[in-house]
Every structure is written in structure tokens, then in C-alpha cells.
Homo-oligomer: A and B are copies of this chain.
Amino acid sequence: MSVLTGKHLIDGQWCAQSCESFSAYAPQMDEFISPQFHSAGAAEVNLAVQAAERGFEVIRQLSDHRRSELLTNIAQQLEYIRTPLVARCVRETGLPTGRVNGEIDRTKKQLLHFASLLMEGNWRRACSASSDVTSHPDLQLSSVPLGPVVVFSASNFPLAFSVAGGDTASALAAGCSVIVKAHPAHPGTSEMVADCILSALKHLDIPPCVFSLLQSKDHEAGVALVTNPAVKAAGFTGSIQGGRALFDIVSQRPEPIPFFGELGSTNPVFVFDSTFANGVDAFAQAFLSSMTQGAGQFCTSPGILVLQKSEHLDTLLTSLAAAIPSQAKQTMLTPHICSAYRRATKQRQSRSELNTLAVGRVAENAQSQAHIALFSVSAQDYLSNPELEHEVFGPSTLIVICQDFAEQLEVAKSLREHLASSVFSGPDTEDRQQIAQLVDALSLKVGRLVFNGFATGVEISPAMQHGGPYPSSTIAAITSVGSRAIERFMRPVCFQSMPVDYLPVVLTSATADQ
């Protein structure tokens, strides 16, 4: 594809019916960029769902080997267009080139991770009880894909959590057809990646109804997709407000379906004073690097630091306040996100309970430029103002200053629920019992708990858990990163006394070619 079409991809065709359109915005240049993108209406949604119904019958009957090939080939196609893809993505998102290149690497890694998983014979975690007790009937546990899946692209990971991101990769791996509702903040990037998927399907001679892409600037297409009876699951990464609205709509369907939403999280970091035994610099640097990663637009950004009063703390605060002005200025993903961030930090600056430690400077007329903002608050004021726990999406952190460990623990126990949390302490700490107590309290609040590290950066592993209690996720039992993400798009089926001849062939021959 040399030129962007601005159209939807449905059943292998680039097409558009509705007259509504929109443009991508280049946040770094503060300008709209061509081409115009069509915004999907009811007609396109219906066509995409009809294609996905046919696509489900196709992909669910492909062998594991064939689906593995498909994922591998999509990763290859991404590599072929890396240069123009990075260029377009950088323009549309304002993210640095290095970050976008890294995200392509991660997207490929995710695709290849599921491609490998499919080649492991036991990936359906089949559990045969046939040998349990002789009086048992023969029971074979397997799993089947759910059906057509809708994936909502995220704004903050234009590749890794977007068109060919973790949701799409795991849904295709599970044997589901996919309709992606692209994020309007990076429509060109979305079209280019969708074209990679189309190329992979063509290359492997798989009918293209397996995958569709809809462009849309508003919420209607998304609502029409998740309320369509043929759609059997949805994956979403985004705001609490948007995710909850979709969750409510999905819950009210005559037949409710799983809605895997990853919404908001502040990822509190608890620091013991022993962390600073050799000075505050190493911690300060690691913290600044984590909080400013992606202009603070990571779902695992450290939005709250919880420390005890000490001399080290004073040094740390001075050091952080001094470092803020020299941080490179950062561009946020959209003017909308940036203005929401500015409103939130301005509001924090005006609160009497909060102490503004440092605020970076940006040009007032730069619509998408983010200023780093650091605030502090006493634990008591923090505890009596629960809204301070809410996520401020961007490079801002609130430092909660506790009188003692008891207050730190009280803050931990008061927390709402988060994706992740961290605990820092020094190597020769005398606080072992307190650390264990804190870890225990935090384990009830989060999906991942990191020791002496920040939560930004999420490994793709069988042991990863990226998902915590609501509102960090709508379904805490699942993960959206790592091998088990595939389980979201399947459900178990028990075959009782079923002769092997009659078992669906795709459930028995894990690595057989079709």
C-alpha cells in the first residue's frame, strides 16, 4: 500500500459508504494531516459483522499450525513496512521514533509469542480425567473459541494495544474472527497495520473475512458493534468513563457477553527509607524515567508514591524538584488528552491540601505539550480526600508523606483497586516484617506486585498478570498481556465418553497441518 485510502477494510475490500469523515491530527506540529478518513455507520458495522460471522467459521476450523503461520506472517508484514509505519505513527501520536520502533518490536513479539504457544500441544490446558477413578466416565476437557470478537484500539499504544496488538493476536490465536474499531487518534497507522493483516491473509490463502477494520471518530460504531447479537466478546483499553459506558451497554444485552476492559489505574509505589541507604539518586532517576515514559501515558505509570518522613525524603524531594525543569519536554497523544491533563494538574495546583513540588514549563500555545507535575500531600489529607487516588493521565505523580509505617499501611489498605503496585526497600533492611505486611495488604488490591522496580514495562510471559480488580479491569480473573490472554476468547467444553473419532479435529490435532 503506497497511499492511505481513508477507508474501512471489510472482507478484503477497502470500502466506505457514509459521508462522515475526520482527519488525523499531528500533535507535535499542532495540525491536521491528510487524508480524510471515513467514519463507519450502521451499514459498515453490519457488513463487518456479517463478514466476521463467516470469518469465524473459517478461522475456528483452521489448524493450530495455520493460525500460527498467520500470526507469524503478520509480524513479518509489519517488518516490511517498518519505515513508513514509524513515520506515520510518529506524526499521528507525537511519540518519539525510538518508542514507536520499540512498539513495533513488542507487537511482533506478542504475535510471535502466540504463534509459538499454538505450536505447544497442550496450550488448551486440556485436562483429562479419564484415569482418575475407574468408575468415572471418560472426561476430556478442551476449549472452543467464542465467536466474532470486537477489539477497541487504545490511544496510548498505537501498535501494541491497537490493530494487531495483544487483543487481536490472542483472539486470532484462540480461533476467533476479529473486527477492530480503530482509534481516531491514529487512523493512518491503523490502516497500514490492517493492510499488513490483509497481506498475511492473502499470502496464506485464508479468506479475508477473518479480519475487518472500521474507522470511526465517534462512539456510535463501537456501540453498534458490541450490541450486535453475533458479536461474542470485546476487548477494550481506555478510560474508565468510556470503558464503563461500554460495559454497561454490553451487560444489558439480551445475551450478555464478556467485556474485557482495561480502564484506569494509579499503580501506587510504597518506598521504605532503607531504599535510600546509598543515597536518593538511583531511585530518583528510575522514578523520573518511569513517570515520564510515554509522557506518563502508560497504564502502569506510577501515579502515587507513598513514603515515610525522613531526611532522605527531604533530599529526594529537593532532588526531584531540581530535576524536573531539565526533563525533555513531552508531547501528549492528542489535544484532548493534553487539555484534560492540564485541567487536572491545574486543579491540583489550586488545592490547599496539596503542595506543588515542581511543574515543568511548556509553551502556552503548544496544544499537545505536557508539563511534568509533582505534588505532595500528608497521609492524613490523602486519606480524607479519596478523589486524590484517581488517575491523572499524564506525567504527574502525587507523593503521599506518612508519619510512620502504620500510616503507610493505612494508605495501602484504603486503596481502591489497581493494575500494579511496587514496594521498594534496601538490601539490609530491618523492616522485613513490615514489608511482608505491606505486600500482603497490596496483594488484595492489585494484579501485579513489583519489588524494587516500577510497573512500567510488562513482560509477555505465561506468569504475567496484567489486570486487577475493578476499575483497573472489568474482569479481574483475566490478563490482557501474556500467554493466558488467549483464555479470554475461549471457553471450556467437557467431552464425556466421546470417541476420539468424533472430537472436532482442531481440538485433537494440535500441530497437524490442515
Contacts and interface: CB of A to CB of B under 8 A. Distances in A.
Interface of A: 127-130, 132, 136-137, 139-141, 144, 146-147, 247-248, 251-252, 255-258, 417, 423, 432, 435-436, 439-440, 443-444, 446-453, 459, 461-465, 468-471, 474-477, 479, 484, 487, 490-499, 501-504, 507
A463 B497 contact: no
A284 B389 CA distance: 64
How many copies altogether?
2
A354 B252 CA distance: 33
A205 B271 CA distance: 38
B465 A494 contact: yes
A147 B251 CA distance: 23
Contacts of A502: 423, 432, 435-436, 439, 451
A121 to B, nearest CB: 17
A496 B146 CA distance: 31
B464 A499 contact: no
A477 B492 contact: yes
Contact of A451 (B452, B487, B499): B499
Contacts of A487: 477
Contact of A464 (B255, B459, B461, B494): B494
Contacts of A137: 453, 459
B255 A471 contact: yes
A61 to B, nearest CB: 8
A504 B144 CA distance: 35
B476 A140 contact: no
Contacts of A447: 491-494
A140 B463 contact: yes
Given A130-B463, A136-B459, 16 more contacts: A127-B463, A129-B462, A140-B463, A141-B463, A141-B464, A255-B471, A256-B474, A258-B475, A432-B501, A443-B504, A447-B491, A448-B496, A451-B502, A453-B497, A465-B492, A484-B492
A477 to B, nearest CB: 5
Contacts of A248: 251-252
A60 to B, nearest CB: 8
